[in-house]
Structure 1
Amino acid sequence: MPTAPGRAARPDVLRPARALARWSLRHGLPAAHLRRAARRGDPVARLLRDPAVRADPRAVHEQVRSRGPLADSALGPVTAAHAVAAEVLRSDRFGVGFDWSRLPRPARRLLAFGDDPAVTGVAEPPSMLVVDPPDHTRYRRLVSGAFTPRAVAAAEDRVRRTADRLLDRLEAEARRGGDVDLVAAYAAPLPVLVIADLLAVPADRVDDFLHWGAAAAATLDPGLPPRRFLAGDRALRELHGFLEAHFERLRRDPGDDLVSSLVAARDADALTDRELHAIAMLLLGAGFETTVNLLGNAVVLLDAHRDQWEGLAAEPERWPDAVEEVLRHDSPVQITGRTARVETELAGRRLQPGDRVTVLLGAANRDPAVFADPDRFDVTRADARAHLAFSAGPHYCVGAGLARLEGVVGLRALTERFPGLRVAGRPERRDLVTLRGVEHLPVRLR
């Protein structure tokens, strides 16, 4: 039936058009800008637009580094220097928030910030990734209890039991012969099962969470093609729908999990539904993505350095150092950004409030001014922990301790069960800009 004059169109009719308009603002226009800059030879634009460059970004990183501690790029000032990156990440002169007031009012309305939780991505307010104090301080305080050193240590047995269950399935697969996709069978489900337990997610929804976690992570990337953006938009709506019902269940029957405590918060700690959605989605996306990329990257690196892997098998107490070197050498998160909150100076350049600085974390973690022979993978490297893979300062990854634990336990358990594991084909890299990891990793278990 035609819409009566003056009557609002049905939301489900407008939804695809609104989604495409949001894609245009968030991805389409930035992608067009980056394409033009890449044709002009801008190294950062080439990094963001060319999958071949992202597969091995060292040449671009060095090109940026050769232009000084703070270089110009299509994204504005960019740094590959560890010292400048650390200063930006740690200083209260910079924040994660973007000055949305610079956008025209129709664009702000279209992006739906503050309106519809069902279209909120990981990198949109009120996510902790993109809000500054005092909101960020409040959110972080509410969730940090689940990630204290004591809480992480207490989770070790649970992570090991989860790893052993997944390895039992791999054992059965090994008996049947043939290659196994280690990402699908182990690296991805391990962190999802751990974070699902933290969020009190029923076991029969874990496959859904694998799908939703990948979709949430993809929203971090600039320049997504429209089909992928729309698929992510649908997945995020499914996730938000699940969370809405999940929160209601926990209000009726709370447990001792993190989400139950967030749902039950009262007075000044009480969260709006939108804030609850944002925190739960961030814990899923960040808790899943960092670890799955860490595990996949580690197996690829160790397979190429068999002597180091065999040394770790003989001395498993060295696994924590090995995990730090993987994080440094092949950082799961490759790029981030900060916005100047005040007029300030950085690396000899004057910045105005609202100026955006891009930080190439992967390049900073291979800065020869900090790390000797930085392109060499060495699990005995004494200063590997100086990396910035988990960021630094107020926005240091709240789940870094849990990610490290999952990396150590997951890799040690895998090595003990399958000491002869070998990569059996070419690893397929994920076609993402912000995150660096392996999409598919065929391995032979014996």
Structure 2
Amino acid sequence: MASGYDTKTRGLAWLHRCLADERAEYGLAFNPLRDAFQKAPEDAYAELRRRSPVHYSRLLDCWIVTRYEEVAHLLRENDVFRSSPHTTTQALVDPYATLDPDRPSLFMLDPPAHTRLRGAVREAFGPEAVRRLTPHLEECVRDVVQRLGRPGDRVDLVPRFAGAIPLRVLDLVTGLDMHGADDVTGWVSDIVLGLEPIATAQTAQRALTSYRALGKYLDERRARPAREGSLHWSLLRSVRAGRLTDAEARQLLMFLVLAGTKTVSDFLASAARHLSALPPRAPERRHVDSALVDDLIARVSPVQIVARTAAVPTVLCGRRIRAGQRILLVLASANRDLAAGAREDGGETGTGRARRAVAFGGGIHRCLGAHLARLEGRYALSYLLERFPEVRLTGATPSRRCVTLRSWDSVIVHL
């Protein structure tokens, strides 16, 4: 399989040629390497929605879909638009496939394998499991917030708030006791950056090194006695009963660590940045309820895009998509489009189907931990504003070279 990291032949001359050819064909070019995109990707996506909602990026070697109607449709059509990248005909492939080609992650699998593996962890994130978890979740969130400091202190919320809470909550679910390991968040960040479609060869190598280090660390944790009732305990029982292989159980835990920490961390950083920039008496700061959390998740969309592969030739908005071509579904853009459409038509599609934000994906791959992530967000943001009602944003630095996720290197506040 070809790699997407050949930066020797894909230098500036290649980049400029791609963008020039794209402009000649579509009248505009999508360039996620621009500083303007990194600061405000929503502006670039808004232009694509208006002028080229199904757009072929020569730079990324794939189709980019930005309108809500098409994104929501493609998320549901898993027989036509598959999650596995292994049938792609393109030169640039899903970077995750280069990290662990023999053990694909849950988000890269299609039924029946996806259905079986998802079923092995579904119960751990169901309403009853989350209800039992809630008192412990509340306790650990309060502890993290209280340790931030005193009112008036200058604090970076990314490592001490947004990064700390998801790891501690995931510990409650898995029973792996990882929250004391400072290296885990660094490994996860390196791996996620390596999954970006605009990653460099150097970034990819660092991601591979961190992926192996995180796998070794998880193996050490998995070798310890499992806490009864934890996900680790449940997966061990499934392995012993022959319902899962040990390699599958390991990869499920790896997937949950990557997805369950980084995406929630990015959401908390984005949401805290947004709320702390508002005046202290703004209504949004007074009461953080489930509706506000849902609105914030849709607004900031920590997972900006998900990828699919066309299983058969198809036509979308007049564009002919060949079998094997990769498609990026821009969840962040779709949610913006949905918000604008809801103001115009009351939130209904032309067929009467109720519209639903796609920040957590959709169809069979809708995020398993959506309910838990919402709860984490509500408690974390509520306690932050309760403990520090005058918290004020003083600066924030977005992570560079990010397309898949909306990440922050720092969110600096005065408590």
TM interval, shorter chain, is 0.7 to 0.9
Instruction: Classify 1:50/1:341 alpha carbon distance in 2 versus 1 (closer, same or farther; 3 Å).
Output: same
* Match status 1:444 vs 2:378: no
- CA distance in 2 between partners of 1:127 and 1:25 (Å): 18
**Partner of 2:372 in structure 1?**
402
TM-superposition CA deviations, 1:327-365 (whole Å, max 9, x none): 222210112221122343433444343222221211111
2:54 maps to what in 1?
Answer: 70
**What is residue 331 of structure 2 aligned with on the other side?**
361
Cα offset for 1:420? Answer: 0.6
**Aligned partners of 1:410, 1:37: CA distance in 2, in Å?**
43
Match of 2:83 in 1: 96
Alignment of 1:129-278 (within 5 A): 129-170=107-148, 173-174=149-150, 178-202=153-177, 205-250=180-225, 253=226, 255-265=228-238, 266-273=240-247, 275-278=248-251
Give the TM-score of the pair, scaled to structure 1: 0.79
Count how many residue pairs are aligned between Structure 1 and Structure 2.
394
**Match for 1:145: what amino acid?**
E
Measure the CA separation in 2 of the matches of 1:272 and 1:353. Answer: 34
Which letter maps to 2:4?
Answer: R
For the pair 1:372 / 2:343, whether they are aligned, the reply is: yes
* Deviation for aligned residue 1:44: 6.1
Contact kept, 8 Å, 1:328 with 1:385, in 2: the verdict is no
Q: What is the letter of the counterpart of residue 52 of structure 1?
A: A
SS in 2 for 1:64: helix
User: After alignment, is 354-363 or 253-262 more displaced?
Assistant: 253-262
What residue is the counterpart of 1:333 in the other structure?
303
Task: Give the Cα–Cα distance (whole angstroms) in 2 for the partners of residues 336 and 326 of structure 1.
Answer: 19
The equivalent residue for 1:414 is 384
Amino acid at match of 1:289: K
SS in 2 for 1:359: strand
Corresponding residue number in structure 2 for 1:301? 274
CA contact (8 A) 1:291 1:403 kept: yes
The structure carrying a bigger helix percent of its residues is: 1
What residue is the counterpart of 2:40 in the other structure? 56
The 1-side partners of 2:250 and 2:365 are apart by 19
- Please state how far the C-alpha of 1:399 moved relative to its aligned partner: 0.9
Aligned to 2:397: 428
Structure 1 equivalent of residue 73 of structure 2? 87
SS of alignment partner, residue 390 of structure 1: coil
Aligned 1:17-32 pairs, distance under 5 A: 25-29=3-7, 32=11
CA distance in 2, matches of 1:441, 1:112: 28
1:37 aligns with 2:18: yes
Partner of 2:348: none
The alignment partner of 1:52 has SS state of helix
**Cα distance in 2 between the residues matched to 1:31 and 1:205:** 41
1:171-227 deviation line (CA, Å, top 9, x unaligned): xx326x541111111111000111123222235643222222222322321232333
Letter of the structure 1 residue corresponding to residue 117 of structure 2: Y
- Cα distance in 2 for partners of 1:272, 1:260 equals 13
Deviations 1:34-75 (A, max 9, x none): 56424556566412x223312112332122112344233323
Specify the code of the residue in structure 2 equivalent to 1:387: A
Structure 1 partner of 2:31: 46
Q: CA, structure 1 residues 62+204, in 2 after alignment: closer, same or farther (shift >3 Å)?
A: closer
Deviation string 1:264-288 (CA, Å, 9 cap, x unpaired) is 3145512242x23321111011111
Contact 1:195 1:287 (8 Å CA) reproduced: yes
1:387 has 2:357 as partner: yes
Distance in 2 of aligned mates of 1:164 and 1:37: 50
Q: CA deviation at 1:247?
A: 2.3
8 A Cα contact 2:90 2:326, kept in partner? no
Two-structure CA RMSD over aligned residues (Å): 3.2
Q: Does the CA-based 8 Å contact 1:90-1:392 persist in structure 2?
A: yes
Distance 1:184 1:312 in 2: 24
Q: What is aligned with 2:347?
A: none
Structure 2 Cα separation of the partners of residues 71 and 65 of structure 1: 9
Using the TM superposition, give the Cα deviation of residue 313 of structure 1 relative to its aligned residue in structure 2, in angstroms. 4.6
Q: For 2:283, give the aligned amino acid.
A: G
Cα distance in structure 2, aligned partners of 1:414 and 1:303: 10
Structure 2 distance, partners of 1:268, 1:335, is 35
- What is the TM-score of this pair, normalised by structure 2? 0.85
Structure 1 segments (4+ residues) deviating >6 Å: 111-114
Q: Is contact 2:190-2:207 (8 Å) kept?
A: yes
Report what 1:120 is aligned to.
100
CA positional deviation for 1:82: 0.1
Distance 1:414 1:218 in 2: 28
- Out of 239, 254, 279, the position equivalent to 1:281 is 254
Q: Aligned-pair distance for 1:162?
A: 0.8
Please, which runs of 5 or more residues in structure 1 have no aligned partner? Answer: 1-21, 374-383
Asked whether the equivalents of residues 194 and 206 of structure 2 are also in contact (C-alpha less than 8 Å), the reply is: no
2: CA distance between counterparts of 1:328 and 1:428? 21
Question: Following the alignment from structure 1 to structure 2, what is the Cα–Cα distance between the partners of residues 85 and 103?
Answer: 21
